[in-house]
Structures are given as structure tokens and as C-alpha cells.
Chain A
Amino acid sequence: MKVLVAVKRVVDANVKVRVSADHSGVELANVKMALNPFCEIAVEEAIRLKEAGKASEVVVVTIGTSAAQEQLRTALALGADRAIHVTTDAELVPLSVAKLLLAVQQQEQAQLIILGKQSIDGDNNQTGQMLAALGKLPQATFISEVEMIDGGVAVTREVDGGVQVVKLPLPAVLTTDLRLNEPRYATLPNIMKAKKKPLDTVTAESLGVTLKTHQQILSVTPPKARQAGVMVDSVAALVDKLKNEAKVI
């Protein structure tokens, strides 16, 4: 079984991003970039499936500028076999990403497609669901457990108020939640070896996908700052403030 994992280059999760002065976006110059944490979990799960003998090949794919190859190399260093870079400079909405990913999935005939549940920059939480819709494939979002079963996959999903178990026939689309696994670190020898692993580059146009403009970002602004608070020196003072000043208890 071939597993396709979609990964995204995003601002490192620990960076405090700033809105640009002209309100056109956020400052990305000289900011540390990294693999989206949920994509890291997706890569890890695919590699574990391979280590368990359930997957024959793990292919990672990303869409974006040439800088995104850095994240593909990271995924290769973690244990992916091969990488595909779909090059484009365009700002893409998740629907466009899903269309390009579907073209790659069909070319590769991957049986399992694993994505992160959301990227921590756009916070959209859409791409996996859209990819599944376009491919008429079953989907399981927010997964915290995966088990390969006869002719399919059984997964545990994290939903509001509890967990849900569903079985999906293959090919299927899964999106990872935080608790699925603890991603490994890339070791130095593996980082060196990853430089020799195959990385194919294709253009978005060559995949035969026609993309449309769906949205326009009019402005990006900082959120309203909160009024500075006060420190209280005792529990009694805190209770007094909550009762008499804030009047919330």
C-alpha cells in the first residue's frame, strides 16, 4: 500500500507573528519557518505504518515556492521514501490545494492519503475534507488512532464530547489530530541521507488543473489588545475584585 502525505511549510509554531504595517498580511521576512506540526504527525504515522509492514512506500508532497523543498527534505529525513514538489508562487485557497493534491494522488495511485487537520497559519481545517470530496473518497478527520484492517482502515476520531470509531474502505483520506502520535526527530545521518533521496518537481500547470480565484484578503489587522490587568496580592483581594469590581461572581 502506497501512502501519500501532504505537508506544508509554515511559520514556526513558537514564533509570535506580527501584522505588517500596511495591513496586507503578516511579517514573514526573516521569520523561522518549519513543517506544520499536524503535517509532522501525518508523516510520523505514515512512517510507522511502513515500519509495521503495512505500507510499502511513503511519498510526501508539498505545494509552494522552492523554499518549501526544505520541508520536503525534513520529511525525507524523518523516513519518507520520495518527495514531490508542486511549484507555484500563487497564494492558494485550500480548494485549489485539494485539486492539485488530487491530481498527484491519482497519478501516484496512493491508497491512503494523510494530511494534518489544519495548518497553523491559515487555521482553515479544510484541505483534507475537500480532497476527499473531489476524489469521492471516504474521509476521517481529527484522528487519534489508526489501525489497518482487512481491506480498509479503522480509525478513532476526536469529536466534541468524546471519541468516535469509523471504518473506511481504501483509498481513503485521513487528517491527523495532535494525539495521534509523538513525531520523532530527524537524526544527523538521516538528514544527510535525505539529501540523496528522490525529489521530483512538477509545475501546477503540468498537473492539468485549472485554478480559479475564489477569495480576496482585504486586510489583515492585529486583534484588539486587552486592557492591562492588575496583580492582586491575596486570594481575599482577588475575590473582592471579582465581586465588587468585575461583578462576575
Chain B
Amino acid sequence: MAVLVIAEHDNHQLKADTLKAVSAASQLDGDIHLLVAGSDCADVVSAASQLAGVSKVFVAEHAVYQHQQAENIAELIAANAASYSHILAAATSFGKDVLPRAAALLDVAMVSDIVEIVDGETFVRPIYAGSALATVKSLDAVKVVSIRSSAFDAVAQGGNAVTETLPQVFEPLSEFVSKTAIASERPELSSANVVVSGGRALGSAANFALIEQLADKLGGAVGASRAAVDAGYVANDLQVGQTGKIVAPSLYIAVGISGAIQHLAGMKDSKVIVAINKDPQAPIFQVADYGLEADLFEALPSLIEMI
């Protein structure tokens, strides 16, 4: 049996999360096939066919797949699922949208956001905002699984997969109107090696510039707590936590973040955690490798200076 990985892309570039999903797939027995559904996505197909371990790339190119809406991509996945033991995608907003829909069409349950593969039918996944790890055995014939990107390494280049065209056309049930992307020159939050996050204590959007300066100095990404997002200091796609992005960088610096369970769920697998907070009782200090009790408006400028 083979493993089908659903590729995520913007019709130009293959998302780094897909490389993680392929690497998870390589821990399972069987050939790895990739499904690329999109419109004018030749570059994506060529990148996909070069991933190590991928033996075949299925290409569904049509205008109806341009925005990768869940309704028709799920139909496409379900229509081609018969010969697979596993269907995998990264647990990004795309994967979370599409994969459960495809699973239901196949009448199988799904295992979300796994952090470890025990064997072909047994997976480990966090529950209760990461307060517990459940080992789940799937009894379904087809295992539909989304993987947590931060728990798997990206697969290398060096493959030479054959491509095959899928002619099926499924119309989406919803109408795409627009997408507003938030432009950033910094590394992507979920794959960055260093993440500097700010919380409510920053006090204003203008003060968030301090977080950005430190991130830039370290070549890292900027993150935020929910409080900082709700207060309007930064856009909501920078939120780290149970309901935002899950990150596991080498270095995570939490500035002015108290460390609620929901925030910790998004960053506590970081290799080194630094907390800067003026409240010595803040729960963030319980997970921090290095804690500094200080006023962030004094500590940050000197930290930026010294690095």
C-alpha cells in the first residue's frame, strides 16, 4: 500500500509544511505519492517531483482548483483514495480545512495534529492544549492523518518522481471572493529558527517595533500572544498558541507574556525558551530555560544593543 500526501502551495511555491508531511510519510511503509491540485502550478509540480522519497506526483490542474477550496479538493482526494493505506497533510489552515472533509467522505475517522508515529496505525497527539499526550490507534482501513509541522524535519531534495495527470474536475460549492495576504520579509513563523514574541505588556502597536528589532537582529520571526493580537498590536496570523501557530524553534524569546496554558501549547517544545517579564510569579518562568525579571522597556533596548 502507498501513502498519499496532499501538497500545499500557492500555485507558485510548495509550502515548507508539505516537506514535513512527506518526511512523516517516509516513516510509514509504502511508496509516497503527492497530490498537487491547483491552477498553472508547473513550478509546484516540478518542486514536488524532486522531493526525496516521492515516487509519483499526481497533478490536477484546472481553474476550479485555483484557490484550493475544501469542498472540491476533498472530493478529489476521496475519489483517488482507494489504493492508499494513509492520507497525510500538514495541520495548517489548509490541511485542517480539507482533510476532515475528505475523511468524512471516505467514512473514516481522522487523527489530527500528530507529533509522533508509533507504527502504521498508532499515532501520538497532544490533547487539552498540550497538557496530555494521547496514543491513538486507528481501526479504519484508510488512515487520514494531519501532522504537526514542528514535530517533523523537512525532507531533502534529490528525488525524481514521475508525474501523472488527474483529469477529474469537481466544482467548489463556495465562491472565492478575495485573499488578503500579510506581507512579511521575515522568516515564516512556523518554520523560523528563532522566534521573538510579545504580549500585552508591550502596551501599543508602536512599541512592538522593539520586538521586531530584536527579531531582525537574530534573523528570526515575530510572534505574539492572543492578548497582543486582540489589543490590535499585530495581525492575528502571528498568534502563537493552541488556537494560533504551533512553533518549535531553537530559541523562543517571550517578552511581556504571562504564559497562559493556551500560549504554552504553541511554544513549549522550543529548544531554548527565554522569558523576560517584570512579574516574578508569571507562569512563563516555569517553562523558561533562562528567565529575566525586568521591565521590558529597559531590557529590550540593551538586549538589542548587546547581540
Q: Name A residues whose Cβ lies closer than 8 Å to a Cβ of B.
A: 11, 13-14, 16-19, 26, 93-95, 98, 117-118, 120-127, 129-134, 136-142, 144, 154, 157-169, 172, 177-179, 213-223, 226-227, 229-236, 238-239, 241-242, 246, 248-249
Contacts and interface: CB of A to CB of B under 8 A. Distances in A.
Contact of B127 (A126, A214, A220): A220
Which secondary structure dominates where chain A touches chain B? mixed
Interface of B: 67, 69-71, 74, 92-94, 96-105, 107-113, 122, 125-140, 172-182, 190, 194, 218, 226, 229-230, 236-237, 242-243, 245, 250-251, 261-262, 268, 271-274, 285, 287-294, 299, 302-303, 306-307
A238 B303 contact: yes
Contact of A242 (B113, B181, B290): B290
B126 A123 contact: yes
A214 B140 CA distance: 6
Contacts of A232: 290-292
Contacts of A18: 131
Nearest to A93: B109
B244 to A, nearest CB: 9
The B interface, classified by DSSP as helix, strand, loop or mixed, is mixed
Nearest to B71: A138
Minimum-distance CB pairs A-B, first 7: A214-B109, A133-B104, A130-B104, A129-B100, A138-B173, A126-B100, A165-B177
Nearest to B294: A235
13 contacts: A26-B128, A137-B173, A139-B101, A139-B173, A164-B179, A218-B135, A223-B131, A223-B133, A229-B287, A229-B288, A231-B290, A248-B272, A249-B194
Given A126-B110, A160-B190, 19 more contacts: A16-B261, A26-B132, A93-B109, A124-B110, A127-B100, A129-B96, A129-B97, A133-B103, A133-B105, A137-B173, A160-B245, A165-B178, A168-B174, A172-B174, A178-B243, A229-B285, A230-B289, A231-B292, A235-B294
A160 B94 contact: yes
A95 B74 contact: no
Contact of A141 (B97, B130, B175): B97
